[in-house]
């Protein structure tokens, strides 16, 4: 649903995948959960990616682990992630994620590096929130040429005029590119259904997503199936499927 709502880093979603880009959401996880996702970026098979993640709430700190992979035999990126989230008071939470990246190119070689993601979230009121994210704040690099991984910083303002509606704007800056502006809306008309749409600049992209929630999927857990699409001005549409399971 994060992808479906314009790639915006909401702090409300408590799925076991959202912490990969916004580790502070871990602080709001109350139940053990699992998630699997599969994506088809631009309908290019060589870029297909998948992720598997779990979250574990402990008394004060919440942990999350994940494994992600992109590509196939010729070009492959794999990432192992370990994150933690912590709440300070009623209004603030922060999280840190450590990613171990490995890049492998057939006949060329491979390299590894570690990237750190940190984020913080603050609730001004019950309906207004702010988030700050740093991705790869330790400036990790790969390869003999010391190619830097994307270093991204983002600031997000979320507003929830009603409990079922959430809107947010985000300013994101990747140091290698110009700033991006994102706008997203998420609406929950009934308990089992969520729909989202969003807009991203540079390049201009429109996103949409839907999530169906099923209670008692396996008679003891809560399940959610999500789907999102993303357009691109020059490439084909991207699609992502995800399955989330939360244990009682």
Partner 1 sequence: MATLQIEEDGDILTDDELFLLEDLVRRPIDLNRANKKQIEEIPLLTSTDASLILEKRKEIGRFTSKEQIFTIQGLSTLASQLLPLVATVKQIPPTSVTLRNRWVTPGEDIRILTRGRITRSFISGGFILERDPGETGLTDFVTGYLTAKLANGIRLIVGDHQLQTGYGLLFSRSIPPIKGHGSLTGMGNLGKGLRPYRSSIEYWALRGIAVEKTDRLGQWTFSLTASPKDATVDSNRVVSISTSGLHQSPSSLARKHNLREDIVLLSWQRGQGKVGNYGIVLAKDRWILHGSPPDNRSSKTYGSMFGQFDLFRVQFFGELAACSGMQPSFLGGMIIVEKNLNWISSLRHYTSGFQGPRSQPFREWSSVILNESGVYQGLSVKLGKHRFFTYGDIYRQSSADRETGRAIHGFEIAHTWSYRWRRGQASLRWKLEEKSIEEKVQHRGESITGGSKRESWRLNSSISPTKQFRLQLQGDHTAVCQGDASFQGYGLSIKSHFIRDPFRLSLNWVGFVAENYQSRIYVWDLNFPGELRNKTFYPTGQSLACLIRLKTTGATLSARLRSTWKFSRSAKTWSKPDTEGGLQIDIAF
Binding site for partner 1 (CB under 8 A): 88-89, 91-92, 120, 122, 124-125, 128, 130, 132, 134, 136-139, 148, 151-153, 155, 171, 173, 175, 178-179
Measured from the CB atom, the residue of 132 and 195 that comes closer to partner 1 is 132
Q: Left, alpha or beta for 163 (phi > 0: left; psi -120 to 50: alpha)? A: alpha
* Shortest distance, position 142 Cβ to partner 1, whole Å: 15
Measured from the CB atom, the residue of 16 and 152 that comes closer to partner 1 is 152
CB atoms within 10 A of CB 55: 28
Measured from the CB atom, the residue of 82 and 116 that comes closer to partner 1 is 116
* Shortest distance, position 136 Cβ to partner 1, whole Å: 7
Backbone phi and psi for residue 198, each to the nearest 5 degrees, phi listed first: -160, 170
Long-range contacts of 203-208 (CB under 8 A, 24+ apart): 203/232, 203/233, 203/234, 204/233, 205/6, 205/230, 205/231, 205/232, 205/233, 206/230, 206/231, 207/3, 207/4, 207/5, 207/6, 207/7, 207/231, 208/4
Closest CA to 66 of 47, 92, 84, 48: 84
* Shortest distance, position 88 Cβ to partner 1, whole Å: 6
* Shortest distance, position 33 Cβ to partner 1, whole Å: 28
**Could you say which DSSP state residue 191 is in?**
T
Measured from the CB atom, the residue of 92 and 243 that comes closer to partner 1 is 92
* Shortest distance, position 159 Cβ to partner 1, whole Å: 13
Measured from the CB atom, the residue of 49 and 173 that comes closer to partner 1 is 173
């Amino acid at each position: 649903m994060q992808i479906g709502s314009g790639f915006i880093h909401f702090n409300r979603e408590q799925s076991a995948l959202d912490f990969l880009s916004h580790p502070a959401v871990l602080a709001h996880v109350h139940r053990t959960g699992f998630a699997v996702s599969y994506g088809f970026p631009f309908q290019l098979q060589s870029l297909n990616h998948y992720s598997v993640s779990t979250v574990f709430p402990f008394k004060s700190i919440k942990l999350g682990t994940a494994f992600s992979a992109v590509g196939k035999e010729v070009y492959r990126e794999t990432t192992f992630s370990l994150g933690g989230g912590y709440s300070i008071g009623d209004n603030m939470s922060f999280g840190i994620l450590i990613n171990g990246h490995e890049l492998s190119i057939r006949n060329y070689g491979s390299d590894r590096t570690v990237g750190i993601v940190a984020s913080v979230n603050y609730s001004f009121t019950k309906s207004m929130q702010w988030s700050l994210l740093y991705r790869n704040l330790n400036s990790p690099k790969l390869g003999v040429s010391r190619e830097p991984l994307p270093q991204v910083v983002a600031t997000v303002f979320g507003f929830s005029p009603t409990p079922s509606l959430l809107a947010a704007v985000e300013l994101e800056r990747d140091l290698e590119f110009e700033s991006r502006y994102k706008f997203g809306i998420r609406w929950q008309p009934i308990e089992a259904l969520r729909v989202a749409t969003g807009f991203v600049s540079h390049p201009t992209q429109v996103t949409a997503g839907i999530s169906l929630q099923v209670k008692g999927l396996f008679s003891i857990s809560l399940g959610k199936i999500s789907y999102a699409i993303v357009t691109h001005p020059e490439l084909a549409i991207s699609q992502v499927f995800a399955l989330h399971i939360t244990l009682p």
